């Protein structure tokens, strides 16, 4: 109980409390790219490389998550933002960029692109960011992203899945809290790549 109280007090002090003058915000990047194919699950490492080309549109999200703010949930109905901290870009755009990197680094596809690049597309990976937060109440970070794999030739959904990852909230500083988010995003982005590659092989 004492440990929980300490974390709660620290987090409360770090929350964005309002407009009491301007201050320079620390800007954080989002990690999560897969450096090589060995990061894939062992059961999926044997999947052959295929020549299919996929499109990664920008994920959709509620306004709360569609910004540079880092969300902190203090109860089921109350959210705030991490004080003096921000993402380096809008969260959906960052997630899109990192997912593209992850798919490219898997070296399993013919091509990976985003809208406007003129690629001939076989499948679209449509995503919705449902949660991307530091949860004070649970002392955890929570990320949830839903994915639909859509055949670009006929519009049919080949497969869909909801990915949910949680990890313990570590440390007592903004850097530590963001690092916890990054660890969870690394895990969920890897799961998304693994699942997509497996679905495309079936």
The pTM (predicted TM-score) of the whole model is 0.85
**pLDDT tens digit at each of 202 positions of the chain:** 544 444 454 555 555 444 334 578 999 999 865 554 455 555 556 677 888 999 999 999 999 999 999 999 999 999 999 999 999 999 999 999 999 999 998 889 999 999 999 999 999 999 999 999 999 999 999 999 999 999 999 999 999 999 999 999 999 899 999 999 999 999 999 999 989 999 999 8
Number of Cα atoms under 13 Å in the Cβ half of residue 143: 26
Q: Which of 147, 182, 3, 166 is nearest to 73 (CA)?
A: 166
Domains of the chain and any CATH numbers = 50-201 (3.40.50.10610)
Q: Which long-range contacts (CB under 8 A, 24 or more apart) does 15-18 make?
A: 15/72, 15/74, 15/80, 15/81, 15/82, 15/83, 16/69, 16/80, 16/81, 16/82, 16/83, 16/84, 17/80, 17/83
């Amino acid at each position: 109980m004492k440990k929980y109280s300490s974390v709660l007090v620290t987090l409360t002090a770090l929350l964005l409390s309002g407009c009491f003058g301007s201050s320079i915000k620390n800007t954080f990047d989002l990690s999560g790219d897969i450096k090589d194919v060995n990061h894939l699950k062992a059961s999926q490492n044997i999947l052959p490389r295929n020549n299919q080309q996929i499109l990664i549109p920008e994920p959709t999200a509620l306004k709360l998550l569609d910004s540079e703010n880092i969300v902190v949930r203090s109860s089921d109905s109350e959210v705030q933002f991490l004080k003096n901290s921000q993402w380096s870009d809008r969260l959906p755009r960052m997630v899109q960029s990192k997912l593209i990197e992850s798919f490219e680094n898997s070296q399993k596809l013919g091509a990976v692109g985003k809208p406007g690049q003129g690629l001939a597309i076989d499948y679209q990976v449509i995503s919705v960011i449902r949660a991307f937060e530091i949860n004070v109440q649970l002392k955890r970070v929570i990320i949830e992203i839903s994915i639909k794999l859509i055949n670009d030739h006929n519009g049919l959904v080949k497969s869909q899945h909801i990915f949910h990852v949680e990890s313990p909230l570590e440390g007592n500083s903004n850097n530590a809290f963001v690092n916890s988010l990054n660890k969870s995003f690394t895990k969920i982005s890897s799961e998304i790549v693994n699942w997509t590659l497996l679905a495309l092989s079936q």
